[in-house]
Homo-oligomer: A and B are copies of this chain.
Amino acid sequence: MSSLKAATALAHPNIAFIKYWGNRDQALRLPSNSSISMNLAALETRTTVRFDGQLAADGLDLNGAPAAPAQVARVSAMLDLVRAMAGISEFAQVTSSNNFPSGSGIASSSSAFAALALAASAAAGLALDEPALSRLSRRGSGSASRSVPAGFVEWRAADTDEESYAVSVTGPEHWDLVDSIAVISEEHKAVGSTAGHPLADTSPLQAARLHGVEQRLAQARQAILQRDLPALAAVMELDNHLMHAVMMTSSPPLLYWQPASLAVIHAVAAWRAEGLQAGYTLDAGPNVHVLSAAADAGEVAVRLGKIAGVQRVLQAAPGGPARLLPA
C-alpha cells in the first residue's frame, strides 16, 4: 500500500453547443456524431482514488455518503479498464464530491468520469497523454471525454476506440462567455443519458439530425473562434431543437422540457429581440443554459431569477482541463 498508489484529480462538467445524442457503439460509447462544448469553470468534481491491496472490493463515497450499488458498478468498470492498462489487480477506494448541488440537474457524469479516469490512471502509475485520457474518460460517460481538454472542446466521432477523443478548439481565455444555468426542479424523474442514447436511433428524425451535423460543427467552431455570439446562438439553438426533436420522437418518447424550461426559452428569444444577446441550450433535463457575454451575465442572472419555476441560477465562465491536484 504505497502512497504512489493514490491520486486526486479535478474536472469540470461541460455544456454542449453541438449535442451528442446516440452512439454508433454503445459498449465503447463511440458517438453517432461529433460534438462541441465548453467546460464550466465554477463547477467542479474532485475525486481521489486509492488502490489498496487490503480492500476486498471497490468502494465509492459520493458527496460524503456511500454510493448506490449501480454507481459503484459503473466506477468499478472504469477501474477495471485502468487496472488492465496498468497491469495491477488491487481494488480501490474512491472518494468524490461536487461543488454544485446534487439534484440540481447539472449533468455531473462528464466531470465525474473525467476526474475519475485521471485520478485512477495516475494512482495506477500511468501517465496518459490528453487523447488517451479523453478516450478513457469516454468509456465511463461519453461527454466526459470533453471534460479532459481545456476551454472550448470538440469530441470527434470515429469508428474505433483509438480515434474518438476530444481536443481543445481554443483555450478558456479566448472568449469571456458566461453560462448562466437556470436550475429548474425536476417534476418527473428523467431518463438518464446512458439509458437515453440507445433510443436515439428509434426516432425517425435521428438520421436527418446527423446528416447536417458537420455543417453545424463548422458553424459552431467558426463562431467560437470569431467570438460571434449571434452566430453561436443560432446554430446552438437549432442543434438543441434537433436533439430534443429526436428525443421527443423516440420510442418511448423523451420530453425533458418542463413548463419553466419553455418560459426561459421564450424569455431569451424576447430578450434578444430587445437587444440583449444570449442563446440557450438544454441537456437531457429541464435546466436551461443561457450563454451570454460576461458583461451581460449579471443582467441575465437577475432576469432568469424572476422567471417562475427557476429555483436558482448558477454561473460559469469557460473552464480549464481535467488536472491532478497535490496530495
Chain A contact residues, CB within 8 Å of chain B = 187-188, 204-205, 207-209, 211-212, 237-238, 241-242, 245, 248-249, 253, 255, 257-263, 265-266, 269-270, 309
Contacts and interface: CB of A to CB of B under 8 A. Distances in A.
Given A204-B209, A205-B205, A205-B209, A248 B241 contact: yes
Contacts of A269: 255
In the complex, which of the residues A237, A238, A241, A309 has the most CB atoms of chain B within 10 Å of its own CB atom?
Answer: A241
A252 to B, nearest CB: 10
Given A205-B208, A259-B262, 12 more contacts: A204-B208, A204-B242, A205-B205, A241-B253, A245-B248, A255-B262, A255-B269, A259-B263, A259-B266, A259-B309, A261-B262, A262-B262
Nearest to A259: B259
A268 to B, nearest CB: 11
Contacts of A245: 205, 241, 245, 248-249
A263 B258 CA distance: 7
Copies of this protein chain in the complex: 2
8 contacts: A204-B208, A204-B212, A241-B245, A255-B265, A258-B262, A259-B262, A259-B309, A261-B262
Contacts of A249: 238, 241-242, 245
A265 B309 CA distance: 17
A207 B270 CA distance: 30
A260 B263 CA distance: 9
A269 B309 CA distance: 20
Contacts of A255: 262, 265-266, 269
A265 B257 CA distance: 11
Contacts of A261: 262
A266 B209 contact: no
A241 B246 CA distance: 9
A281 B261 CA distance: 20
Contacts of A262: 255, 257-259, 261-262
A249 B239 CA distance: 8
Contact of A253 (B212, B238, B263): B238
